[in-house]
Amino acid sequence: MSAAVTGAGVGLLFAVSMPGAFAFLAFQRERGTEVESLGALVFHVARHFGWHGEVLLNYGSIEFLGPWVNVVSTAALALTGAAFGWLLLWRLRARELTGAVLTDAALTAVLLFTVTSRVISPQYLVWPAGLAAVCLTHRTSRMTGPALMILGASFLTVLEFPLGFSHVVLSDGYGITLLVLRNGLLVAAALTAARHLWRATVPPRPTTPLPPRPTRTTRSPVSSRPRTGEG
């Protein structure tokens, strides 16, 4: 709580004393979807079915610009927000925060934010690769599987850029295949890391025991034979 209050106070100070201090948040509003990102696969395939967009140098990267690009870009931002929300929920419910867990959480966060980004440039793979190496220094880390997927994605990234980047820009079969494999491995690594992190640190919800079933009481039949001395 104190950190949040301090951060809000510093932000307010910058906003008052430095007009336009947060203008950078809107600088990339008109940015498109970079051709190597996960969302770009939609347009790579759509180009073969008559999509009339363009591939242009924009904000320093090769991006798709045209119809529906803003929708895909907005969806990517929404997924990033959902990833942040999941990480916040995990932090609130996690009970074990060892050194290995913290590094696993850092790798998971970077993977989630990478795959949901509108841009997945080759240099982006440096971050998850470095964190994966740190995770594997802990014997109790559960990130071996994601680390191997990141290694495979890094190899495919070399094939995609610079070796096969012309195929990616042209959206031909080879370029699309490289992107599907590379981005597919990154998505699998992110989901696997999130699953392992959650299961390792969040205790299962206690199950509510079922109410006991009422026991049936057997009644002895009433005899119709007259008692001794009756009648």
Read off the pLDDT of residues 28-47 as tens digits, 9 standing for 90 and up: 566 789 999 999 999 999 99
pTM above 0.85, yes or no: no
Q: Where are the alpha helices (DSSP H) in the chain?
A: 2-17, 40-46, 69-93, 99-115, 126-135, 144-158, 165-170, 173-201
DSSP H or E segment with residue 36? none
Q: What is the mean pLDDT of the chain?
A: 88
Q: Summarize pLDDT for 1-22 with one digit per residue, the tens.
A: 565 677 677 767 767 777 766 6
Q: Summarize pLDDT for 169-181 with one digit per residue, the tens.
A: 999 999 999 999 9
Nearest Cα to Cα of residue 149 among 190, 116, 189, 105: 189
Q: Which strand ranges, in their side-by-side order, compose the sheet holding 54-58?
A: 33-34, 61-65, 54-58
Distance CA 58, CA 16 (A): 32
* pLDDT the model gives residue 223: 55
Q: 40, 64 in Cβ contact below 8 A?
A: yes
Nearest Cα to Cα of residue 44 among 188, 191, 178: 178
Return the SS3 of 189: helix
Q: Summarize pLDDT for 180-208 with one digit per residue, the tens.
A: 999 999 999 999 999 999 999 998 877 66
**226, two tokens:** 């007259």
